[in-house]
Amino acid sequence: YAFLIDSQSKRYRIAQHTDKDEKTVVDWKRSTVIKDGAEENVLEVRDEKGKMSFYIKGEFVDDYTDKDGVTSGVVGLYVSDSVPIAFSDLEIRK
């Protein structure tokens, strides 16, 4: 699963990635929590037995329950070619 934000338009979406395919599970939604420019956006995903809760800057924005029984995956980061990004205090934990 991927949790994506577009800080210029202040929107987020949730997608599922499988074998070279991306399926949107939550289409783009606006959120006033998302900051633009150089302001920091802290993203968090909590997974409790397939129910994922998504947070931006500590505020709950959405949830999604895995319907496909995904039991494994990898952690990764990706960005578009048009928007520079930076990370600080990157933390990934189980």
- Residue the block writes with tokens 């633009």: 36
Can you give the pTM of this predicted structure? 0.85
- Whether the Cβ atoms of residue 22 and residue 73 lie closer than 8 Å to each other: no
How far is it, in rounded angstroms, from Cα 16 to Cα 29? 16
* Per-residue pLDDT tens digits for 29-73: 999 999 987 888 999 999 998 899 999 999 999 999 998 888 888
* Per-residue pLDDT tens digits for 11-30: 999 999 888 888 999 999 99
Question: What's the pLDDT at 12?
Answer: 96
- Whether the Cβ atoms of residue 22 and residue 16 lie closer than 8 Å to each other: yes
Question: What's the pLDDT at 29?
Answer: 97
How far is it, in rounded angstroms, from Cα 66 to Cα 50? 5
